Amino acid sequence: MSRPRRCHPFIYKIPGQTYLWLAILIFGASSAVTRKLTQIGAQHLMDGRNPISLCNVLFVGNLCALIVMLPIYRRQWNKKALQELSKKNWLALIAIAILSGALVPGLIFQALALTEVNNIILIGRLEPPLGIALSVWLLRERVNRWEVLGAIAAFVGVALTILLQPSQMTTIHMGVLRLGIGELLAAIAAVASVVSTIIVKEWLSDIPVGIFSIFRTALGTIIFFFAALILYGSDHFIDVFSPFLWQWMLVYAAVIVVLGQSFWLKGLRASTVSTASLAGSFTPIVGIFAAYLVLGEVPTFAQYIGGSLILVGIFLSQVGVRFQISRKVAAQLEQGMGFKGI
């Protein structure tokens, strides 16, 4: 009998860094892809409505994510595991569902309707410096001076990105300051994301991933759904069952949610913490390139100035990571990733 053909050895030798960079490409492009989907929907109106509205993308995208997660994590949802959760755990899970499951994505998607994708990407870099500040203040964590310098540079870069923007119709004037509403929403989302990260560190670090992910996504989706109904009316989700919407959302969920998360987790298991942190820091750079390639958004003067300082902050932070590779740094990886398409 002839021997069965073996797969090429290269398939078994794909380094973990390759998976990380593939995940970064997917996550970095998620905001631009989301905006592009809404533009496609605007070209295929249904009775004058866009079936791929931002709210529909978020709501149906979360449903698709749940469809994917339920069979993967169903074994973690057992009676014994649920009974081990304390009252504080459940309260923390509810808070996380409200913040990172409903409020943060809702603010980001609303910001996408009001400002450029590049602004949202750069303003999202508020998360690491705010996370470091709150971790030191509330959790008594210790950071080195390189991380502090990097956080300051990134914060100044974000501030310049916001303040140097030209005046627009969606701008709030506060004396000499001009603050775009879209940029303000993105900044509030960054603050809420950091608060949720602190809650996870303090009260949910030992919760099984399946329980955490499914509960946050499910409750967050429910909260967002009813909040949108109250704010926008009962007809807001009238096109939620549109086949045109679902065919795009299934592709969106399969690529952004399934492939992105799978590549990231697989890469984490085969890479060092510093390597994963370095890869995650390039998410805004990938996002800006994606905004240019997918949407044709050319960075403005304010974005060049702010982005340059943010890059300096990333470099300084990576120097600090090299000196302090620890479990605490690993816990900060998710917040550095920014918006992941859910």
Tell me: pLDDT of 286 over 80: yes
Q: Name the phi and psi angles at 340, rounded to 5.
A: -115, 15
* pLDDT value of residue 253: 79
Angle between helices 16-42 and 260-269 (to 10 degrees): 170
| Long-range CB contact pairs, 240-243, < 8 A, 24+ | 240/56, 240/59, 240/60, 242/46, 242/51
> Do 109 and 57 contact (CB within 8 A), yes or no?
yes
The tokens for 329 are 């740094």
Specify the DSSP class assigned to residue 3: P
φ/ψ bin of 46: left (φ > 0), alpha (ψ from -120 to 50), beta (otherwise):
beta
Q: What percent of the chain has pLDDT over 90?
A: 25
* pLDDT value of residue 278: 64
Which residues are paired to 242 by β-bridges?
Answer: none
* pLDDT value of residue 13: 61
Q: How far, CA to CA in Å, does 81 sit from each of 69, 72, 78, 97, 266?
A: 17, 16, 6, 19, 25
* Closest to 132 in 3D by CA, of 146, 119, 118: 146
Report the pLDDT averaged over residues 207-222: 89
* pLDDT tens, residue by residue, 138-157: 777 777 788 788 888 888 88
